[in-house]
C-alpha cells in the first residue's frame, strides 16, 4: 500500500498520449518510439488510473481525519481494497505486455505514455474569465486568482504560470490580466495564477542561509506558496515539465529562493526588474531556463547578468525593455520564450549545490550525508555534479564535502539491462540494478508527478578525492 499523498506540493479522465516528438522535447533526448501499440497503452492507462484514483480518494479522506469515525474508517478500507485490486490488475497487465514485447520497464517512451494522466481530475467549468479560488475554500484561506482557458478539460496536460505581483499591487487580478489578457492567444493554452500576497509575508527578504533564525523565518512563506501549488496540482491536470514562476520587483528574491530550493519542479523562471539577486543559487539552477526583463543599464540587471555568466548558466536570456515594469508590451516575447523553456528531468548532466540543509535533492541526485552549510566556506559548500553517458553505460560523479549520495536511475540515463560503470571522485566501481515497477510508481504518486519515472535507485558512499575545480 502506498503512503499517504499530501496536498502540499513538494511534500508530497480521458487518456491522452504524447507523440514521440513531444517526448524528445521534454527530455532533451531522442528516446525512440513506444514498443506497445496505442490501444494497449490506453488500456494500461485506464488500469493505472483504477489503482491511483481510489488510492488518492482514500488518502484524501485519511488526511482530513476521516479515520476518527467508524464510517470514515470503513470507507477508507473499501477504497484501499479497491486500490489494491487495481494495483494487482495493472501489475499483471504490464508484466504480460512486457513478456510480449520485451523491456517495457526499460522503455521510457512507453512509461511516459502509460503514466500520462495517471492522476484523474474532475471537470472544472471555465468561462475563460478570471476567477477567485482558495487553497481552503471552506475557511476562505489562501486566496488566489486563476485564468483558465475557455473550455478547459482535464483531457490533456496544461502548462501553469504562477505570477507573483509586487507588494504594493492593489488588485492582483488586474495585474494578472495586464500580463495575460483574457481571451488572448497567449492565455488560451495554459493556466495562469496570481496568489494574493499575505500582508505578513515580505517576499523581498534575502535569506541568510547561514542564519538559523532567518531560515526558520522563511518557512511560513514557503508553506504559503507550497499550499497554493499543492491545491493546483490536486485540482488541475498540469504539464509538470512546464511550470513557470513569473515575479516582479520585490517578489523576485522569494521567487529566486524558491526555484533555487526546488529546481526540478520548474520549467522556467521569469524575473521582471529583479532585486535581491543574492537569493539565486546559480549552481543549483543550471537546468532551469531564466528570462530577465528590465531597463538597459540598470545596475542590478548588469550584476545579475555577470552572476549568471560567472556561474556558467547555460539557459538565460536578457531582454532590455523600454517603458516601465511590468513591461506588458513584452508579453509576446515572454510567450515565445516559454515555447522553448521546459524542465529536463532526465538531463545527462546534473549539478546540485543545495542552498538549504534540508532540501538536498534535484533531478536524479540526492545528497543523503554531507557537511552542513555552516561547516564550510561559500566556495566549499557541498556539491555534486553527475554526467551520464548512455553509450558508454557510465556515470561519472564529482563531489565535494559530501559523504553519501542517492542516485535515481532509468533507461534514459543508462542501459539498466547491463552492468554499468560508476566513477565517484575518480574511484571506479561496477554495478547492476534491477528495475522495480512499484518503486517507480510509488515515487511518481508521492510527488504527484506523472513524469518522475525512475525505475530504481541506490545509495553510494563518496570517497574523498579532488574535485574538478581542484585539478
Burial zone of 87 (CB within 10 Å; 0-12 exposed, 13-18 middle, 19+ buried): buried
Contacts of 78 (CB under 8 A, 6+ apart): none
What does the alpha-carbon distance between residue 60 and residue 6 come to, in Å, rounded to a whole number? 8
What does the alpha-carbon distance between residue 236 and residue 451 come to, in Å, rounded to a whole number? 16
Instruction: Return the pLDDT at 99.
Output: 84
pTM of the predicted structure, to 2 decimals: 0.91
Q: Average pLDDT for consecutive 10-residue bins of the chain (471 residues)?
A: 40 36 50 91 97 95 90 94 97 90 91 96 91 90 94 93 95 96 92 94 93 93 95 95 97 97 97 96 96 93 94 95 93 96 97 94 97 91 97 98 97 97 97 95 95 97 66 40
Instruction: Return the pLDDT at 139.
Output: 85
Instruction: Return the pLDDT at 297.
Output: 86
Instruction: Return the pLDDT at 29.
Output: 61
**Distances, alpha carbon 86 to alpha carbons 51, 82, 90, 92, in Å:** 4, 6, 6, 10
Place of cell 512507453: 110
Amino acid at each position: 500500500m502506498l503512503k499517504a499523498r499530501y496536498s502540499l506540493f513538494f511534500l508530497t479522465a480521458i487518456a491522452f498520449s504524447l507523440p514521440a516528438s513531444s517526448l524528445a522535447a521534454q527530455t532533451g533526448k531522442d528516446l525512440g518510439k513506444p514498443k506497445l501499440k496505442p490501444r494497449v497503452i490506453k488500456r494500461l492507462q485506464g488500469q493505472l488510473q483504477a489503482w491511483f484514483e481510489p488510492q488518492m480518494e482514500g488518502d484524501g479522506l485519511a488526511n482530513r481525519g476521516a479515520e476518527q469515525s467508524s464510517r470514515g474508517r470503513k470507507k477508507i478500507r473499501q477504497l484501499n481494497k479497491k486500490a489494491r485490486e487495481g494495483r494487482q490488475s495493472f501489475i499483471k497487465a504490464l508484466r504480460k505486455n512486457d513478456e510480449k514485447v520485451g523491456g517495457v520497464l526499460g522503455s521510457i517512451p512507453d512509461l511516459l505514455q502509460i503514466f500520462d494522466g495517471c492522476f484523474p481530475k474532475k471537470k472544472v467549468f471555465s468561462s475563460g474569465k478570471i476567477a477567485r479560488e482558495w487553497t481552503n475554500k471552506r475557511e476562505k484561506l489562501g486566496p488566489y486568482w486563476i485564468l483558465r482557458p475557455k473550455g478547459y478539460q482535464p483531457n490533456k496536460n496544461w502548462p501553469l504560470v504562477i505570477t507573483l505581483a509586487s507588494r504594493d499591487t492593489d488588485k492582483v487580478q488586474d495585474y494578472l490580466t495586464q500580463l495575460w489578457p483574457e481571451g488572448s492567444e497567449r492565455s488560451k493554452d495554459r493556466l495562469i495564477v496570481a496568489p494574493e500576497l499575505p500582508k505578513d509575508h515580505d517576499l523581498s527578504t534575502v535569506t541568510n542561509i547561514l542564519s538559523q533564525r532567518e531560515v526558520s523565518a522563511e518557512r511560513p512563506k514557503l508553506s504559503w506558496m507550497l499550499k497554493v501549488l499543492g491545491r493546483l496540482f490536486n485540482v488541475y491536470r498540469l504539464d509538470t515539465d512546464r511550470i513557470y514562476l513569473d515575479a516582479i520587483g520585490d517578489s523576485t528574491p522569494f521567487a529566486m529562493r524558491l526555484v533555487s530550493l526546488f529546481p526540478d519542479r520548474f520549467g522556467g523562471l521569469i524575473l521582471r526588474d529583479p532585486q535581491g539577486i543574492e537569493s539565486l543559487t546559480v549552481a543549483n539552477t543550471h537546468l532551469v531556463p531564466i528570462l530577465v526583463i528590465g531597463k538597459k543599464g540598470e545596475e542590478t540587471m548588469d550584476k545579475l547578468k555577470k552572476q549568471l555568466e560567472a556561474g556558467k548558466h547555460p539557459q538565460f536570456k536578457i531582454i532590455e525593455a523600454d517603458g516601465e515594469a511590468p513591461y506588458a508590451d513584452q508579453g509576446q516575447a515572454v510567450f515565445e520564450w516559454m515555447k522553448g523553456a521546459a524542465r529536463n528531468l532526465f538531463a545527462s548532466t546534473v549539478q546540485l549545490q543545495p542552498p538549504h540543509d534540508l532540501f538536498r535533492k534535484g533531478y536524479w541526485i540526492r545528497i543523503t550525508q554531507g557537511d552542513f552549510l555552516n561547516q564550510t566556506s561559500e566556495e566549499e559548500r557541498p556539491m555534486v555534479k553527475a554526467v551520464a553517458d548512455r553509450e558508454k553505460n557510465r556515470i561519472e560523479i564529482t563531489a565535494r564535502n559530501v559523504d553519501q549520495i542517492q542516485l535515481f536511475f532509468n533507461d534514459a540515463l543508462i542501459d539498466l539491462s547491463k552492468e554499468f560503470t560508476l566513477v565517484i571522485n575518480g574511484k571506479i566501481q561496477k554495478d547492476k540494478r534491477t528495475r522495480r515497477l512499484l518503486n517507480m510508481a510509488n515515487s511518481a504518486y508521492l510527488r504527484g508527478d506523472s513524469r518522475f519515472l525512475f525505475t530504481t535507485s541506490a545509495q553510494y558512499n563518496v570517497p574523498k578525492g579532488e574535485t574538478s575545480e581542484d585539478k
